[in-house]
């Protein structure tokens, strides 16, 4: 069990957990907003355009926290500076 | 218990957990939005088309967080850079 | 406790957990949507056809997250690349 | 504690957990839908046939996630490829 | 602590947990449906027969997930293929 | 710490947990149904007989999941096949 | 730490946990039913006798799950077959 | 760390946990019933006597599960058959 | 780490946990009842005396479960039969 | 790591946990009662004196469970019989 | 890792946990009471003085449980009898 | 791993946990109170000044529990008596 | 397993957890605010501009806590002072 | 695994946890307040200025608990007295 394997394992497990736990909050938050939007359209059909626009801008903001997690996951898998360091050292 | 087995085990376990935990949030969020959509249609049948369209666009956005998890799962199983590195080293 | 057994154990446990945890979210989400659909039909019987159609399309979308989990479970049991690698090596 | 025993233990424990955790979501979801259906029938007795039909089709969809778990449980007990591999090897 | 004892212990513990955890979901779901049924009868006494019939058919469906767990429990105690294998080997 | 003691301990602990966890769901579910029944009687005293009958039939169904747990508990204490096997072997 | 002490410890701990966890569900369920009964009496004083009778019959049913736990607890302390076996063996 | 100390420790810890966990359910259940009783008296002062009587009989039933736990606690501290056995053996 | 220290540690930890966990249920239950009592007095000032009396008798009953825990705590600290036994033995 | 240090550590940790966990229940319970009292005063200003008196007597009762915990904490820190015993022995 | 370090570590960790867990209950309880107070003032502005006074007296009572925790924390850091004992012994 | 490192690690971890867990309660409590205040202003704009004043005085009281945690955190990092003792000893 | 690998592993795991747990609160909070905003627009379409502006300013404030987590994550991955120290030492 | 690495690891992990857990409470609390503010504006558009001002002052107060956590995180990463001590000692 050398260093490279340890760093690799930690990266794999963390990458998976980061995106999976990070998807719970946004999915629930967006679902709630979406549900309320449909309700609002039903109550005030004349404002549907306005409501939908606010909804999608807002959901993009909520989605941004999921994007942060996705970016960190991809960095951990494909551009991990710790892994790169040990690869270099192993290859040196 | 050499490095390859460790990396393999970590990949298997993480892959499974990523998709399974990642499916909880979207499933609940979509279920909630869907439930509210049906309620909205019942209240305002004339807006059914508008509501349904907003619903499916919104659900696609929520589903996207599940897709992120699914993509990471597939990468961990079929295109895992850490596994590939050790396979190469073992095969070298 | 050689590598093959470890990979096998990890696959078995992960496969089971993946499908079982992955079934909680969709089951609850679909149950909620279904409950609301029946309520909507009772409120607006004239829209029953429309409501039912939206319900089943929506439930299919929710079910998709369970399907992802099921697919990963089957891959882990019957087409596991990590297991195949070690089987080949053991058989070599 | 050889490999066979380990694989056996993992299969037994996972099989049990898969079906038992997998039954929580569907049971709660179906119970909720059923409760709402009875409420809907009480509100709109004339639609009882329609409501009941939607209810049972919907419950079958929810039940499907429990079926997935049951199938995986039976595969783990009676058609476990990992166990079969080790049995063959032990018998070879 | 030989293999037979390990398999036995795992079977005992798993059997107990399977039926006990598996009874939580159905019991709560059925209790909820039953509670709503009584409420529905109070609201619409004329539909009592219809409500009761739907209730018991639905509860049977919910109960089915408890039955799955019970079947797996009995298989693990009385027809456990893993235990049988080791018994045979021990008796051979 | 020989096999017999291990199997004994596992049986004792599992037996206790099986009945105790298995009593939570039914107790809560029955309590909820009972509470609603009393409410229904207060709302519709003329239907008291009908409500009470449905209540007790339904509670028997809910109780059945507790009975499953109780049966497994008694089997684990008084008719445990794993324990019997080891007793025989020890007595042989 | 011989077998007898292990079996004794397991019995003591399990006995305590069985009755204490087993008392949570019934206590909460009965409390809920009792609360609703008082509410029902306040709403419909003329049905007080009927409500009280249904309440106590129902509570007895809920209490039964606590009784199961109490019986298993007493068996584990005073009529434990596993303990008796080891006592006999130790005294032999 | 001989047998006597182990049995003693297990008894102390179990005794404490039994009464303390066993007091959560009844305390919450009784508190809920009591709260509802006061509400019922405020709504229907003329039934105060009837409500109070039902309340205290019901609370006694709920309290009974706490009593079971208290009895087991006292048995574990002052009349523990496992402890007595080891004391006798140690004194022999 | 001799027996005496072990028994002492177990007694200290258990004593603290017993009273502290045992105070959660009664405190919440009493707080709920008290809150409802104040509400009831506001609704029906003429019944304030009756409500207050029922409140304090009921709270005494709820408090009793906290008293049980307090008694066991004091027994464990000042009249612990297990500790006394080992003290005697150590002093002999 | 001699006995004295062990007893000291157990006392410190238990003392802290006792008062901190023991403060959760009373704080929440009192907060709830206080919130309701203010509501009651707003609804029925003429009864403010009566409500306030009942509130503070009731809160004293709820506070009593926190006092029990505080007393045990102080006993564990300043008048710990187990610690005193070992100090005496160490000083002898 | 001598005794002094152990006692020091236990004191540090316990001190921090005591004040931090002890702040959850009072903060939530006071927040709830404060929220209700503002609501009450909005409903009955004429009673603002009375409500505010009752609020702050009540909050002081709730705060008292946080004060208990703070006192114990300070005792554990600055006047810890166990630490003092070992310092003396080490300095002797 | 000498004493100094242990005390240092414990201080770092405890300091972080103290402020982070200690911020959950006040943040939620203040958020609730603030939300209600805005609601109260909307209902009774004429009392805005009074409501705002009570809000900020109350929030200061709630904030005080966060301040306690912050103070303890700073003491643990910058004025830790246990750390100082060991530094002195190490430097002596 | 030298120091560098340990620091690397800790950084990877902490970085992932920081952003993923840190995204739960803001996502839920923003989702809730967004849902309420849509509701508010439906109730008061004339204030849509005002509501939307307040919404996005407020969401930026909530998002700030996610930004803090993201900043710390990036610092831990790309500008970690602890890692830099050990790299320097290793390279020296 | 020398002292420096231990202190470094503890600092990294604690820094990450401090800011991430510390962001949950404020994010939820602010989200709730923001949601209510939008509701209040919709109800009372004339008070929008007053409501918005109170909202942002209040949110700043809630945010302060997140700031405390952020400050502690930065201290642990960039101005950690424990790390500095060991660096000095290592460099001496």
Tokens of G1: 């730490």
Q: How far apart are CA B43 and CA M69, in angstroms?
A: 42
Span C65-90, average pLDDT: 92
Span I65-92, average pLDDT: 90
Q: How far apart are CA C83 and CA I52, in angstroms?
A: 71
Give residue D4's pLDDT. Answer: 86
Q: Identify whether the C-beta of residue A29 lies closer than 8 Å to the C-beta of residue M13.
A: no
Give residue D25's pLDDT. Answer: 94
Is residue L12 within a helix (H) or strand (E), and if so which, with residue range?
Answer: helix L3-22
State CA A81 to chain mean position distance.
20
Span I32-51, average pLDDT: 92
Tokens of D38: 């009875």
Is the Cβ pair B61, A63 closer than 8 Å?
yes
Q: How far apart are CA G36 and CA N71, in angstroms?
A: 51
Give residue K92's pLDDT. Answer: 56
**pLDDT tens by residue, K52-79:** 999 999 999 999 999 999 999 999 999 9
Q: Measured between beta carbons, which residues in chain F are less than 8 angstroms from residue E31?
A: 26, 28-33, 62
What fold does the segment set M28-79 form as a domain? F1FO ATP Synthase (1.20.20)
More confident residue, C2 or K85: K85
Span L5-21, average pLDDT: 93
Q: Length of chain G in residues, anyone? A: 92
Residue F92 reports pLDDT greater than 70: no
Three-state SS for D92? coil
Q: Identify whether the C-beta of residue D77 lies closer than 8 Å to the C-beta of residue C77.
A: no
Chains that touch A (3 or more CB pairs under 8 A): B, M
Give residue M90's pLDDT. Answer: 79
Q: How confident is the model at residue F1 (pLDDT cuts 50, 70, 90)?
A: low
**pLDDT tens by residue, E5-62:** 889 999 999 999 999 999 999 999 999 999 999 999 999 898 899 999 999 999 999 9
Chain-wide mean pLDDT for chain G?
A: 91
**pLDDT tens by residue, J45-55:** 988 999 999 99
What fold does the segment set K3-78 form as a domain? F1FO ATP Synthase (1.20.20)
Span G18-40, average pLDDT: 94
Tokens of A64: 């941004």
| Cβ neighbour number for residue M81 with a 10 Å cutoff | 15
Q: Tokens 């002596």 appear where?
A: L92
Chain-wide mean pLDDT for chain K?
A: 91
Q: How confident is the model at residue J1 (pLDDT cuts 50, 70, 90)?
A: low
Three-state SS for B1? coil
Residue L75 reports pLDDT greater than 90: yes
What fold does the segment set B3-86 form as a domain? F1FO ATP Synthase (1.20.20)
Asked if the C-beta of F8 comes within 8 angstroms of chain E's C-beta atoms, the answer is no
What fold does the segment set C3-87 form as a domain? F1FO ATP Synthase (1.20.20)
Q: How confident is the model at residue I78 (pLDDT cuts 50, 70, 90)?
A: very high
Tokens of F84: 């019997």
Give residue K53's pLDDT. Answer: 92
Chain-wide mean pLDDT for chain F?
A: 91
Q: Identify whether the C-beta of residue F38 lies closer than 8 Å to the C-beta of residue G54.
A: yes
Q: Which of K9, K15, K52 sits opposite L54 (nearest CB)?
A: K52
Is the Cβ pair B23, C26 closer than 8 Å?
yes
Chain-wide mean pLDDT for chain C?
A: 91
Residue J92 reports pLDDT greater than 70: no
Q: Measured between beta carbons, which residues in chain K are less than 8 angstroms from residue L30?
A: 31
Q: How far apart are CA E39 and CA E54, in angstroms?
A: 14
Span A2-14, average pLDDT: 90
Give residue D1's pLDDT. Answer: 53
DSSP secondary structure letter of residue I6: H
Q: How far apart are CA C2 and CA M20, in angstroms?
A: 35
Show the low-confidence residues of chain N (pLDDT under 50). none
Is the Cβ pair E22, D23 closer than 8 Å?
yes
Give residue L2's pLDDT. Answer: 79
Is the Cβ pair C5, D1 closer than 8 Å?
no
Is the Cβ pair L86, K5 closer than 8 Å?
yes
Chain-wide mean pLDDT for chain L?
A: 91
**pLDDT tens by residue, B10-51:** 999 999 999 999 999 999 999 999 999 999 999 989 889 999
Span M48-62, average pLDDT: 92
Q: How far apart are CA E10 and CA D87, in angstroms?
A: 19
Asked if the C-beta of L61 comes within 8 angstroms of chain N's C-beta atoms, the answer is no
Tell me the CATH number for domain J27-77. Answer: 1.20.20.10
Is the Cβ pair I38, J61 closer than 8 Å?
no
First and final C-alpha spacing in chain B: 19
Q: How far apart are CA G73 and CA H72, in angstroms?
A: 8
Q: How far apart are CA K27 and CA M6, in angstroms?
A: 38
Residue M13 reports pLDDT greater than 70: yes
Is there an interface between I and J (3+ Cβ pairs < 8 A)?
A: yes
CB pairs under 8 A between E and F: 168
Asked if the C-beta of E87 comes within 8 angstroms of chain D's C-beta atoms, the answer is no
Min Cα distance M55 → chain A (Å) is 9
Residue E91 reports pLDDT greater than 80: no
Give residue B92's pLDDT. Answer: 56
Chains that touch F (3 or more CB pairs under 8 A): E, G
Determine what percent of chain D is predicted with pLDDT higher than 70: 98
**Sequence-distant (≥ 6) Cβ neighbours of residue B29 within 8 angstroms:** A27, A28, A29, A30, A31, A32, A34, B62, C29
More confident residue, F44 or C1: F44
Is the Cβ pair N18, L17 closer than 8 Å?
yes
Residue B1 reports pLDDT greater than 90: no
Domain G3-81+83-87 sits in CATH 1.20.20.10? yes
Q: Measured between beta carbons, which residues in chain D are less than 8 angstroms from residue E77?
A: none
CATH class of I3-7+15-76: mainly alpha
Span M38-67, average pLDDT: 92
Residue D23 reports pLDDT greater than 70: yes
Q: How far apart are CA B21 and CA B25, in angstroms?
A: 8
Chain-wide mean pLDDT for chain J?
A: 91
**Sequence-distant (≥ 6) Cβ neighbours of residue C32 within 8 angstroms:** B31, B32, B35, D29, D32
Asked if the C-beta of N3 comes within 8 angstroms of chain M's C-beta atoms, the answer is no
- Which architecture does CATH list for A9-84? Up-down Bundle (1.20)
Q: Supply the DSSP string of D40-51, one letter for each residue.
A: HHHH-GGGHHHH
Q: Which of H62, H64, H72 sits opposite G34 (nearest CB)?
A: H62
Tell me the CATH number for domain E3-79. Answer: 1.20.20.10
Q: How far apart are CA D29 and CA I13, in angstroms?
A: 42
∠ CA(B67), CA(B71), CA(B77), 5° rounding? 145
Give residue J2's pLDDT. Answer: 79
Residue H1 reports pLDDT greater than 70: no
Q: How far apart are CA I39 and CA J40, in angstroms?
A: 5
Q: Which of L23, L55, L56 sits opposite N25 (nearest CB)?
A: L23
Asked if the C-beta of I13 comes within 8 angstroms of chain H's C-beta atoms, the answer is yes
Q: How far apart are CA M62 and CA N17, in angstroms?
A: 18
Residue H88 reports pLDDT greater than 90: no
Span L49-75, average pLDDT: 93
Q: How confident is the model at residue A24 (pLDDT cuts 50, 70, 90)?
A: very high
Range of lowest pLDDT (C54-63, J24-33, M2-11): M2-11
Residue G92 reports pLDDT greater than 60: no
């Amino acid at each position: 069990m050398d260093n490279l394997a340890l760093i690799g394992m930690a990266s794999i497990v963390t990458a998976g957990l980061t995106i999976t736990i990070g998807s719970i909050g946004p999915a629930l938050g967006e679902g709630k907003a979406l549900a309320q939007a449909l309700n609002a359209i039903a109550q005030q059909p004349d404002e549907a355009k306005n409501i939908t626009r606010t909804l999608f801008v807002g959901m993009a903001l909520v989605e941004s926290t999921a994007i942060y997690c996705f970016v960190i996951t991809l960095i951990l898998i494909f551009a991990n500076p710790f892994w790169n360091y040990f690869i270099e050292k192993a290859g040196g």
